[in-house]
């Protein structure tokens, strides 16, 4: 005699085989994550200065990735194995490159960055400075020197000085060095340098 609620050996075997069949009917499937590409490309370049951008891809089916580009600038190089874009523009390329689009594919799906533009600006022209400062002054007499400087159109010039004599004053707006030394300040003041910059 069997107690109610305690299945006999035949019932237990049937239950075991049923559970085994249910387990075999539900295999675990790992799905590849979607292929994506990311990165923020610079949208400006300057003549004579290197430009570079390297996007990053993730996900996909694990196969070798291949990169491509639309509307590549004439002054750049592009690597189809990594998506690396780089180059140095020359003066002839000043202007805008419109609609550059970098994409990557794993052979099944393709992902692309949003299209972007690159503005190529002309190289800034360095200011010039000239003049012949007097190299001696008599104690008790006034000394003054103002250099001649020129910068790009529309730029603001700023002057600086190194090793300024203690008895002299200096204008960062004009570069003028002036003052009147006393007899107590007689001596040699070496390596005075006046410079100019834009900004």
Residue 13: which residues within 8 A CB-CB, separation 6 or more?
Answer: none
Listed residues 106, 121, 136: the one ending a domain: 121
Residues 85 and 61 in one domain: yes
Verdict on whether the full-model pTM lies above 0.85: no
DSSP secondary structure letters along 80-140: TTT--EEE---GGG-EEEEEEEEEEE-SS-EEEPPPEEEEEEPPPPPPEEE----S---TT
3-class secondary-structure state, position 172: coil
Average pLDDT over residues 97-102: 98
What are the tens digits of pLDDT across the range 149-177? 998 877 899 999 999 999 999 999 999 99
Listed residues 80, 106, 121: the one ending a domain: 121
Domain of 139 in residue numbering reads as 128-198
Average pLDDT over residues 177-190: 96
Residues 136 and 104 in one domain: no
Question: What is the per-residue pLDDT for 18?
Answer: 47
Residue 146 lies in a domain: yes
Residue 6 lies in a domain: no
Q: Phi-psi bin for 20: left (phi > 0), alpha (psi -120 to 50), beta?
A: alpha
Residue 9 lies in a domain: no
Per the structure, the count of domains in the chain is: 2
Average pLDDT over residues 137-152: 95
Listed residues 93, 121, 149: the one ending a domain: 121
């Amino acid at each position: 005699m069997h107690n109610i609620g305690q299945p006999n050996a035949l019932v237990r075997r049937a239950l075991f085989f049923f559970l085994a069949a249910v387990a075999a009917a539900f295999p675990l499937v790992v799905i590849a994550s979607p292929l994506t590409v990311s990165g923020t490309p610079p949208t400006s370049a300057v003549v004579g200065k290197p430009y570079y951008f390297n996007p990053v891809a993730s996900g996909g089916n694990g196969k070798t990735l291949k990169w491509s580009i639309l509307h590549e600038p004439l002054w750049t190089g592009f690597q189809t194995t990594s998506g690396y874009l780089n180059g140095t523009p020359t003066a002839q390329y000043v202007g805008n490159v419109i609609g550059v689009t970098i994409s990557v594919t794993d052979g099944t799906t393709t992902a692309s960055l949003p299209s972007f533009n690159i503005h190529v600006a002309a190289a800034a022209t360095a200011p010039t400075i000239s003049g012949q400062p007097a190299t001696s002054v008599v104690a008790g007499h006034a000394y003054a020197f103002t250099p001649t400087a020129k910068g790009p159109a529309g730029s603001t010039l700023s002057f600086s000085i190194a090793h300024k004599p203690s008895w002299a004053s200096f204008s960062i707006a004009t570069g003028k060095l002036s003052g009147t030394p006393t007899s107590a300040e007689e001596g040699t003041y070496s390596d005075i340098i006046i410079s100019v910059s834009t900004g």
